[in-house]
Chain A
């Protein structure tokens, strides 16, 4: 699986948009970009994923650059409950028996009042 690079920490003011960057310069053509978040001492929660096109759901938007070497997760109106570690993961969806996701250290997003 391709490696990802994320800043270790970021701050955001409550009510503002949080933009979390991720570099994945070695991503392959069949690899998806996944985002999860983990609130302290809980299990990670799936947020969104994409292949080439930008994606949006009720939680966030995912912007993937045209060359697919980087992406940005956008939380449009951050709240204090969005304070968490955010993981960016790239993984081929092979459909085979060896599918697994590898989690790095992620970005600690702190939303301040």
Chain B
């Protein structure tokens, strides 16, 4: 079945370590997005990419990095510079410039100890 796969679902890391969250889609979608969600809050946009080898900062990009080397993959690295990395991270994709619907993965919950 087509969809978006995020891994790992749960991740624990020590403070000061970088961690990379995986997001893979087999929907042949052009655009991909990373959102962060904190308890009781809405989603905040971290980074997004409309095409391969191109990406833009969202509203809270500081302390995060991304790459888009392949259409199917949009990994997110949470660096040690991110002050409060513990959160629920959601990846999404959109089929193309004429489509407004986002398809989301099931999320990755990162806990920094």
Q: Which of A32, A43, A104 is the one whose CB lies under 8 Å from B90?
A: A43
Contact B107 A41 (CB under 8 A): yes
Distance in angstroms between the alpha carbons of A36 and B100 in the assembled complex = 12
Please give, as numbers and ranges, the residues of chain B lying within 8 Å of A45 by CB-CB distance.
104
Q: Which of A34, A43, A46, A104 is the one whose CB lies under 8 Å from B42?
A: A104
Please give, as numbers and ranges, the residues of chain B lying within 8 Å of A97 by CB-CB distance.
50, 54, 56
The number of residue pairs between A and B whose CB atoms lie closer than 8 Å in the complex comes to: 60
Q: Chain B interface secondary structure, helix, strand, loop or mixed?
A: strand
Per the 8 Å Cβ criterion, residues 72-108 of B in contact with A are: 88, 90, 92, 94, 97-98, 100-107
A residues contacting the other copy or chain, number (CB 8 A): 25
Which residue of chain A is the closest to B91 with respect to CB atoms?
A43
B33 at the interface (CB under 8 A from A): yes
Please give, as numbers and ranges, the residues of chain A lying within 8 Å of B41 by CB-CB distance.
105
Contact B98 A43 (CB under 8 A): no
Q: Please judge, given known A-B contacts A34-B100, A41-B88, whether A99 and B94 are in contact too, CB under 8 Å.
A: yes
Distance in angstroms between the alpha carbons of A93 and B87 in the assembled complex = 29
Contact A101 B102 (CB under 8 A): yes
For residue A89, give the distance in angstroms from its CB to the closest CB of chain B.
10
Distance in angstroms between the alpha carbons of A106 and B37 in the assembled complex = 13
Seed contacts A41-B109, A96-B97, A97-B50; 4 additional CB < 8 Å A-B pairs: A42-B107, A93-B98, A97-B54, A106-B42
Which 10 pairs, one residue from A and one from B, show the smallest C-beta to C-beta distance?
A: A43-B104, A103-B43, A103-B42, A105-B42, A104-B42, A46-B101, A95-B97, A97-B50, A93-B100, A44-B104
Residues of A within 8 A of B (CB): 32, 34, 36, 41-46, 49, 87, 91, 93, 95-106
Residues of B within 8 A of A (CB): 4, 31, 33, 35, 40-45, 48, 50, 54, 56, 58-59, 88, 90, 92, 94, 97-98, 100-107, 109
